[in-house]
Amino acid sequence: MVATQTGPEQEGFYDILQNGAGDLLISIRARAGEPENPRIVYDGGKHALLYRQQGFSITLDFIHPDARAPLAHAESVLIVEFEGDEVMREYEVPVRFVKKLPLSPENLPTLPQ
């Protein structure tokens, strides 16, 4: 039985890196279990959703403005999950560009004033 989240889990710290060929890598902390049919949904704004497995999604908040256009135009990205300094797993994830993310306002954090 798969536990269902009440809302997306927020990724507290992540990096988006781009190599010379334009390929993107997103590093996040490792989660339990293997990803199943993972995908990223992105609307070109401040947030993206990583659907890691059915019933479990991760919000990537406050995407740097310099990373938004490359992510919006990417067909896929490499996700690397870390635990400390150790790579636990890596996998390629397709990126789907949408008009609006399926996030309700209460699931979006705000920056402190």
| Nearest CA-CA partner of 67 in 104, 111, 23 | 23
CA 74 → CA 8, 23, 94, 110, distances in Å? Answer: 22, 8, 8, 26
Collapsed DSSP state (helix, strand, coil) of residue 7: coil
CA distance 67 to 44: 10
Q: From first to last of its 113 residues, what are the pLDDT tens digits of the chain? A: 455 556 788 898 999 999 999 999 999 999 999 999 999 999 999 999 999 999 899 999 999 999 999 999 999 999 999 999 999 999 999 999 999 987 665 544 444 44
Collapsed DSSP state (helix, strand, coil) of residue 105: helix
**pLDDT at residue 69, rounded to an integer:** 96
**pLDDT at residue 1, rounded to an integer:** 43
**pLDDT at residue 26, rounded to an integer:** 98
**pLDDT at residue 111, rounded to an integer:** 44
CB atoms inside a 10 Å sphere around CB 66 = 9
